[in-house]
Structure formats: C-alpha cells, structure tokens
Amino acid sequence: MASAKAPVDYYALLGVPRGAQFRQISEAYWRLAAEKRDQLPLLNEAYEVLSHPQRRLVYDAQHENAPQTPEAPEQRAVLQRKPGVREKLNWYLR
C-alpha cells in the first residue's frame, strides 16, 4: 500500500508570503534555483503554479486548510470582494 504524499506548501518552499506578487515569486525562484539545484524539479513546479493566476487560485483553494505562510492583507481583500469565486472554482474543478 502506497503512502499518501504530504502536500507541499509552495509558498514556504519559495519563501514568499501567500499574497506575494509575481515579482517576489520570480525573484525567489531564480535565487533558489541557483542555490538548490537538487530541488529544481520541485522549484519549477512551485513556480509554474504560483506564477499562473488561475493555477494559483486552484492551488490556494485546494490547500486552504493546510498550514499556511502569512498572507498579505491586500490578497485577502481582493478575494473577499469577488463574490462567487469559490463557486466558479468548484465548477472549474469538476
């Protein structure tokens, strides 16, 4: 029986807050990619998810109960102002 793989916190892996802007994510990725060559496939995966707005929304929705890094207040405000985001995401994930 295979053990379930623990979900990876991409924000913690890259060392950025949940509300990080694209520039912060990009800078963290390139810095870590140069330092940690052995983790490059996982870093690539984290960058691909967090740098793409739709993939990031899906990732955040799927990992909302996981231990989280601090979220920027402006990111919370943006998500709270958009009614129906969760419903649209659930429809998208079907």
The pLDDT value given to residue 84: 59
The pLDDT value given to residue 73: 45
Tell me how far the alpha carbon of residue 78 is from its chain's centroid.
16
CA-to-CA distance for 74 and 91, rounded, in angstroms?
Answer: 25
**10-residue averages of pLDDT along the chain (94 residues):** 67 92 94 91 94 92 66 44 58 63
The pLDDT value given to residue 1: 42
- Where b means 16+ CB within 10 Å and e means fewer, 64-79 reads eeeeebeeeeeeeeee
